[in-house]
Homo-oligomer: A and B are copies of this chain.
Amino acid sequence: MPSKASSSIKDGHTHKISEATVSRLPAYYRALSQLADAQQIRISSEELAALTGVSSAMLRKDLSHLGSYGTRGVGYEVEFLRYQISREMGLNQDWSVVIVGVGNLGRALAHYGGFGSRGFRVVALVDADQTLIGTKVKCGAEGKTVELLVHALSDLEDVIKETNARLGVVATPAESAQVVSDRLVKAGIRSILNFAPVHLSVPEGVDVRKVDLASELQILAFHEQRKAI
């Protein structure tokens, strides 16, 4: 044991992980989970890179920011690496999610199985529509479906306090999104996933990620148009 003695030091990776790397970690995590399900023990950066659509060099550099978890000449241990990523990303704990807006999209999100399987639990549904409030909506995919009551938007603060939700999903029409966002922030939510096609302005310290379906199609259309030359 020549130099590996103080491994506890190198584990304490506090240096910043770049945003680009963070955005790719989920893909690595997902691929590793599938490999683990398929009982694969080890994988090389080359293979994992192919599975996730990045270059092997980029993959290795990304992973190196978490720590030195591979073995030269061998590769990475699937289960071990998966665990390290999940730990780094905070996926070994459960995250409670409140969805505001129970229209088509909100319901589809509530029903989406991909959440529950990765530590995300939809704990509350909120809407402004009087005809929806009080109704029950199925949450989660097969296996672990729960029926959730749709709460009134006016109860938002209480619902968040009671359920201890830390992530907010905005799936309302564009007109109401900013108001809803403001109230989420006021209720203590500091991480918001926004599906409404508007830019949300939030105070410093609050993160917003936006998913805009129409924008994605527009970007595709732009490139498609250029191909036709």
Which residues on A are within 8 Å of B, measured CB to CB? 22-23, 25-27, 29-31, 50-53, 88-91, 95, 97, 104-105, 107-109, 111-112, 114-115, 118-120, 166-167, 190-193, 197-199, 201, 205, 207, 209, 211-225, 227
Q: Which residues of B contact A29 (CB under 8 A)?
A: 218
Q: Are A22 and B209 in contact (CB under 8 A)?
A: no
With beta carbons under 8 angstroms apart, the residue of B166, B207, B214 that contacts A114 is: B214
Q: Which residues of B contact A88 (CB under 8 A)?
A: 222
- Find the B residue at minimum CB distance from A97: B217
Known contacts A26-B214, A191-B224; 10 additional CB pairs below 8 A are A50-B201, A89-B225, A90-B221, A97-B217, A104-B107, A115-B217, A120-B217, A167-B217, A190-B227, A191-B223
Complex: A120 Cα to B156 Cα, angstroms: 34
Q: Which residues of B contact A224 (CB under 8 A)?
A: 90, 95, 166-167, 190-191, 207
Complex: A27 Cα to B112 Cα, angstroms: 27
Complex: A190 Cα to B222 Cα, angstroms: 12
Q: Are A214 and B107 in contact (CB under 8 A)?
A: no
Complex: A89 Cα to B219 Cα, angstroms: 8
Complex: A30 Cα to B213 Cα, angstroms: 12
* Nearest CB of chain B from residue A149's CB, rounded to whole Å: 19
Q: Are B199 and A27 in contact (CB under 8 A)?
A: yes
Complex: A215 Cα to B222 Cα, angstroms: 25
Complex: A219 Cα to B167 Cα, angstroms: 11
